Amino acid sequence: MTPDRFTALTTAFHRLRVGIVGDFSLDRYFDIDPARAEVSIETGLPVHQIIRVRCQPGAAGNITQNLAALAPAVLWPIGECGDDGEGFELRRSLQRLANLRLDHFQTRADRLTFTYTKPLLHHSGRPPEELSRLDLKSSAPMAPKLEQTLAASLHLLAPQLDVLIVMDQAGIRGCGVISAGILAALAEISRTHPRLILMADSRHGLGGFPPLAFKMNAVEFAVLTGRPAETINAITARATELARRNGQPVFVTLAERGMVGAAPDGTVEHVPVLPLRGAIDIVGAGDTVTAMLSLALAAGATLREAMELAQAAASVVVHQLGTTGVATAADLRSRLFP
């Protein structure tokens, strides 16, 4: 990719209209100073002193904040949260993002806000140390009325969108936003809006999803295809087969081995990772890749260009420690053209 082509693509981002449907979580960080540790008089157990609380959107929300860092024309989150303190913080963190509209983001009294609480011990001269995480997750499926409301939002927004990202990350399978009814709505939208890019990513695996563009890691790919992700050649062959069958691109992230992408026309690419530049934190990097691939394809990038941008974005965020980071266009330029 040349600098001029990079400029053309990242400039095109600013005209894109993007929807994100799926599981939005609150990432709540507790920054702890170990020098202030105490022992509880009542229990004799350690007491951690929190010196700062940081709240930011996670899961589908992390994809959203990565998109917002690249300034598309409008972002529509399509999802839900609880009518609780965590839901208040999640909505507030989303509202901080530029060009975002919450018209189709529902607040429900019968749902817990999906929350990751991450206590971090901060040591001088060392990366933060994450203690045991504390999670809040809804343990029941969505009510039919909520499912219908979100499906109606998808049908209403689809004609207005350039790209729609699907993120399935509910902590308990079957209890998140990406239900059977939502998948049926996405299948119908894919048929009736063939120019719309739909990119799907699922922690629970993409089996049972309609034929959308797929992004997955090596473990998820192995589960979907029924065979382990061994050699690059084997992965590219199976990814090409899947892309042809679905009629949509397939992307497989392979950690230190880079990324494989395949298109329905038989085009296949392997893009290596960029060199590490110190300590890394991989939390949230997959969300960054999903956001970047989706936006790049919607802007008219080739398969390889989209993957090169995604690898650059991942390289930026893995070096942001103790947070689910984002990559701006300036960050991407500095990694691609040092």
DSSP string, 118-161: EEEE--TTS--EE---EEE---SPPPHHHHHHHHHHHHHHGGG-
Assigned fold of 3-36+48-230+280-299: UDP-N-acetylmuramoyl-L-alanine:D-glutamate ligase (3.40.1190)
pLDDT tens-digit series, residues 30-83 = 999 999 999 999 999 999 999 999 999 999 999 999 999 999 999 999 999 999
Tens digit of each residue's pLDDT (9 = 90 or more) over 140-177: 899 999 999 999 999 999 999 999 999 999 877 789 99
pLDDT of residue 279: 82
Confidence of residue 276 (pLDDT cuts 50, 70, 90): confident
* pLDDT of the residue at 171: 72
d(CA 274, CA 284): 17
Please write the tens of the pLDDT for every residue from 110-124: 999 999 999 999 988
Residue 214 has phi, psi (to 5 degrees) of: -115, 135
Q: Give the whole-angstrom CA distance, residue 286 versus residue 59.
A: 10
Identity at 222, one-letter amino acid code: A
3-class DSSP state for residue 208? coil
pLDDT tens digit sequence for 91-111? 999 999 999 999 999 999 999
Whole-number percent of the chain with pLDDT over 90: 84
What is each CA distance from 81 to 58, 106, 108, 122, 279, in whole angstroms? 12, 6, 6, 30, 34
Contacts of 61 (CB under 8 A, 6+ apart): 24, 25, 26, 27, 77, 90, 93, 94
Q: Decide if pLDDT at 4 tops 90.
A: yes
Tokens of 162: 């350039």
Closest-CA residue to 310 (of 263, 260, 267): 260
Q: What is the pLDDT of residue 319?
A: 86
Within the chain, how many helices (H) and strands (E) appear? 10, 16
- Coil, helix or strand at residue 163: strand
pLDDT of residue 24: 97
The more confidently predicted of residues 163 and 320 is 163
* For the chain, domain boundaries: 3-36+48-230+280-299
Mean pLDDT of the chain: 94
Please state the pTM of the whole predicted model: 0.93
Residue 187 or residue 231, greater confidence? 187
pLDDT of residue 325: 86
Structural tokens at position 145: 């009325």
Per DSSP bridges, beta strands 115-121 and 24-32 are parallel
What mean pLDDT comes out for the span 174-190? 95
- Both tokens of residue 23? 């599981």
Q: Helix, strand, coil shares of the chain as percentages rounded to 5? A: 40, 25, 35
Distance CA 8, CA 255 (A): 28
Amino acid 322: pLDDT: 78
